[in-house]
Amino acid sequence: MTSIKDFGPEIATLRHMARPAQQRAKRTADPKAAWPRDFIWGVSTSSFQIEGATREDGRGQSIWDTFGAAGRVANHDTGDVACDHYHRYAEDVALMRELGVQAYRFSVAWPRLLPQGRGSANEAGLAFYDRLIDALLAAGIEPWLCLYHWDLPQALDDLGGWTTRDAAGWFADYAALVACRYGDRVKRFATFNEPSVFTLFGYGFGDSAPGASGPVMLRQAMHHVNLAHGAAVDVLRALVPKASIGAIHNYQPCLPATPADAQAAELFGAYWNSAFPDPQCLGAYPPRLADAFAPYVQPGDLARICRPTDWFGLNHYSPIYAKADPSAPLGFTFGPAPSDLTRTPIEWPIYPDAFRDTLLEVSARYRLPVYVLENGFGGHDTPDAAGKVADAPRIDFLKAYTDAMRRAIADGADVRGYFVWSLLDNFEWGSGYGVRFGLVYVDYPTQMRIPKASFRWYADLIKSARQKDGLKGTS
């Protein structure tokens, strides 16, 4: 059994992570101030969550196909059909155009391009993203391409996946293929989406694909993902003129559920918030983790990981409340949020001030322009008798969070854009289709798309923000 002690003699630092937002200095700002010029409004999705067509046109298997087929997802859901975006992408681009977004963040399915993860490329898979990118550009929407949103080719997992150092080279080769094929039209590239989430859940807690669990595998996977990030940045920089490159990190206050959980919260916070941004942007693992990672770090690795990037992608939903749990694989787990906090229908605490504080913290700590590339509200929406989806709580959430963002900007956070998660209801990983985050409702049996009330609200927000900005296009 693993406990916190297995992580080695890690020195306690990063105390700011455990400081509740409400204890920080109150800041004042005019919440009605105009948005910064050239602020980018967008929406985000990911390949596995929307595309479907998992066995079509030569796509290889991904670890999430395997995980779903093994019945590890709620209701035995799988990504086989998802939102059928592979066939309906034109309709989805038309929805984005109606929404008025300037940018769309999506991810490429590695196994669609390289069915075995490496070796021969699959022309039919490459052609799908040509069609998507061309449709976006024709609609005046800038494509933001993320290389990895968790759908590792199964063939690579069979060789050890992220736990092997070779993975960095596999990823760099895949990045080169993407850069050569799309770099004439795509300039915005993200290497990884939420590396700490997919490594912690996939190799630590074990409840996401590939479903492994243990501190050694976890640290190996984390370090190799960091190496892969650095290698991909170099490849993209070399192959795509004027590329604008970043990585996308989830970052949120990690607070102790009770005073006795302070140490667990610090350790959780180090893994969750810092294990990727610190080496990638500051050139060092957080001191809390340095000894634990030392066995995997070879001379020169930190220089390989810390490559100059152009922006910091931030995904944020709510704070985490951590608790010590010696029986959990990593010695810590999720604890209950304070009972006085309101929550979304999927029990995520609603805490806009924590978002404001996170924006200020990330902006000051990493000194890069910040793009919020995910923020949104998960619920169980259903259409009413008239077929409309009146999702007022989602609108309240988005209002509160965009206001908090505006306050952070007024207080000095360098935030350049905001992307709602998500355009469509979709496959919400281990929760399957039971949880809906979309601005657009998807009726899965018919694949009918129904824009929710929040879609109209976001369209109005974008319109009024851009009017104040003289209706400028994307930067």
Q: What are the catalytic residues?
A: 194, 374
CB of 208 to ligand FCB, least distance (A): 10
Q: Rank residues 122 and 252 by Cβ distance to ligand FCB and give the closer one.
A: 252
CA-CA distance, 264 to 230, in Å (whole number)?
A: 29
CA-CA distance, 303 to 280, in Å (whole number)?
A: 9
Burial of 339 (0-12, 13-18, 19+ CB in 10 A): exposed
Nearest to ligand FCB by Cβ — which residue?
194
CB 122 within 8 A of CB 58: yes
Give contact residues for ligand FCB (rule: CB under 6 A).
46, 49, 193-194, 197, 250, 315, 374, 421, 428-429, 437
Count CB neighbours of 36 within 10 A.
Answer: 16
CB of 424 to ligand FCB, least distance (A): 12
Q: Rank residues 190 and 368 by Cβ distance to ligand FCB and give the closer one.
A: 190
SS3 390: coil
Helix axes 215-239, 166-182, angle to 10 degrees: 30
Question: In the block, which residue shows the tokens 């990911």?
Answer: 46
Query: Residue type at 111?
Result: P
Q: Rank residues 252 and 274 by Cβ distance to ligand FCB and give the closer one.
A: 252
**E strand or H helix that includes residue 191:** strand 188-193
Q: Rank residues 7 and 48 by Cβ distance to ligand FCB and give the closer one.
A: 48
CB of 301 to ligand FCB, least distance (A): 26
Q: Rank residues 226 and 422 by Cβ distance to ligand FCB and give the closer one.
A: 422
Is the backbone peptide bond immediately before 210 cis, with ω within 30 degrees of 0?
yes
DSSP-assigned beta bridge partners for residue 322: 256, 334
Q: Which two tokens stand for residue 249?
A: 């990190």
CB of 376 to ligand FCB, least distance (A): 7
Query: Residue type at 333?
Result: T
Q: Rank residues 205 and 421 by Cβ distance to ligand FCB and give the closer one.
A: 421
CB of 297 to ligand FCB, least distance (A): 27
CA distances from 253 to 148, 317, 322, 340, 352 (A): 24, 10, 10, 17, 12
Q: Rank residues 150 and 366 by Cβ distance to ligand FCB and give the closer one.
A: 150
SS3 26: coil
DSSP-assigned beta bridge partners for residue 412: none
Is the backbone peptide bond immediately before 422 cis, with ω within 30 degrees of 0?
yes
Q: Rank residues 353 and 428 by Cβ distance to ligand FCB and give the closer one.
A: 428
> Hey, CA dihedral for 372, 381, 384, 104, is it positive or negative?
positive
User: In the 8-state DSSP scheme, what is residue 118?
Assistant: S
DSSP-assigned beta bridge partners for residue 333: 323
CA-CA distance, 156 to 146, in Å (whole number)?
A: 19
Q: Rank residues 4 and 424 by Cβ distance to ligand FCB and give the closer one.
A: 424
Phi, psi of 413 (to 5 degrees): -70, 135
CB of 429 to ligand FCB, least distance (A): 5
Q: Which two tokens stand for residue 215?
A: 């501190």
CA-CA distance, 314 to 300, in Å (whole number)?
A: 27
**E strand or H helix that includes residue 393:** helix 392-410
Q: CA-CA-CA-CA torsion for 242, 243, 244, 249, nearest 10 degrees?
A: -170
